[in-house]
Amino acid sequence: MTTVLILYASSLGNTKRMADAVAEGARSVEHTMVRLQTVDQTAIDDVWACDALVLGSPVRQGAADARLRHFLENDCERLMLSGRLANKVGAVFTVGAHPHGRYGDGAEIAQLGMLRALAAGGMTIVSGPCEWRNATMRGPYWGPHACLRIGEDGREVLQDGSIEAGQLHGYRVAQVARSFKHQPIARPRRIVAWPRMAELFSGVRAHLRSVR
Ligand SMILES: Cc1cc2nc3c(=O)[nH]c(=O)nc-3n(C[C@H](O)[C@H](O)[C@H](O)COP(=O)(O)O)c2cc1C
């Protein structure tokens, strides 16, 4: 069984709707168990135990929500420093106001801020698939981003295509996590260097010899 842990923060419910969509997509992959939690409910053991970690954040003041940033700096760093995030799969998604609305976007900054922390832990990142770039919903390269619009009842709704993009993201994450589960990434016994590249950096050859 592959475990996909989806952690999100949501005050108005929109990021939760995207998180539900990501969860639905992940669940559609066979032998996948999905855990969907708010980031402040999460126990560090759940993160340690998962095969894939997906973070969903509202965009706040042009960056990721402080609840996600707190989790990354306080909880994930401990796992990162002890090497326990490496070999896991990581991905992100965001929700924000309409880019031409009152707020100043920042989806890419929010996504990259979270991804940078996951990459620092050695995780394998699943980016955004191309399919949604032609759809109504557009996201940065890094993951889906749902903009809001005002619905007929005057309430905020996710723009068309967002749910589908979230589902597709969840599906891809679960697929990648599943294939890694069966063929875990191992450190190669021999690092094969491109010789001229190695020559450019003094000490690289010696280093390579030492790790063989
Ligand atoms: C204080 C505040 C700052 C915000 N800043 C941004 C922003 O910089 N860019 C953006 O696209 N949306 C911004 N938003 C809009 C939120 O991202 C949007 O309302 C989102 O739906 C909130 O997620 P939630 O519904 O899951 O709580 C901001 C909202 C608030 C309340």
In DSSP notation, 11-36 reads SSSHHHHHHHHHHHHHHTSTTEEEEE
Confidence band for 65, pLDDT divided at 50, 70 and 90: very high
Is the pLDDT at 212 greater than 80, yes or no?
no
Average pLDDT of span 18-47: 96
Is the pLDDT at 32 greater than 60, yes or no?
yes
Ligand 1 pocket check for 211: Cβ under 6 Å:
no
What is each CA distance from 24 to 6, 38, 174, 198, in whole angstroms?
Answer: 11, 16, 11, 46
Confidence band for 130, pLDDT divided at 50, 70 and 90: low
The fold of 2-185 is: Rossmann fold (3.40.50)
Q: Give the chain's count of helices (H) and strands (E).
A: 8, 8
Q: How far is ligand 1, taken at its centre, from the CA of residue 95, in Å? A: 7
pLDDT of 169 reads 93
Is the pLDDT at 79 greater than 50, yes or no?
yes
Average pLDDT of span 122-136: 73
Q: How far is ligand 1, taken at its centre, from the CA of residue 15, in Å? A: 10
Confidence band for 191, pLDDT divided at 50, 70 and 90: very low
Nearest CA to ligand 1 atom 6: 60
Ligand 1 pocket check for 97: Cβ under 6 Å:
yes
Q: How far is ligand 1, taken at its centre, from the CA of residue 129, in Å? A: 24
pLDDT of 35 reads 98
pLDDT of 188 reads 46
Ligand 1 pocket check for 9: Cβ under 6 Å:
no
Q: How far is ligand 1, taken at its centre, from the CA of residue 71, in Å? A: 19
**In a mutational test of the pocket of ligand 1, which residue from 10, 20, 59 has the highest number of ligand atoms less than 8 Å from its CB?**
59
Ligand 1 pocket check for 46: Cβ under 6 Å:
no
Is the pLDDT at 90 greater than 80, yes or no?
yes
Nearest CA to ligand 1 atom 9: 105
Ligand 1 pocket check for 101: Cβ under 6 Å:
no
Confidence band for 150, pLDDT divided at 50, 70 and 90: confident
pLDDT of 196 reads 66
Ligand 1 pocket check for 58: Cβ under 6 Å:
yes
Q: Which residues contact 104 (CB under 8 A, 6 or more apart)?
A: 62
Residue range 105-115, pLDDT digits in tens: 899 999 999 99
Say what percent of the chain tops pLDDT 90: 53
User: 184 versus 132: which is more confidently predicted?
Assistant: 184
pLDDT of 82 reads 79
Is the pLDDT at 89 greater than 70, yes or no?
yes
Domain ranges in the chain are: 2-185
Is the pLDDT at 61 greater than 50, yes or no?
yes
User: 195 versus 26: which is more confidently predicted?
Assistant: 26
What is each CA distance from 190 to 85, 199, 206, in whole angstroms?
Answer: 23, 18, 13
pLDDT of 204 reads 47
Ligand 1 pocket check for 11: Cβ under 6 Å:
yes
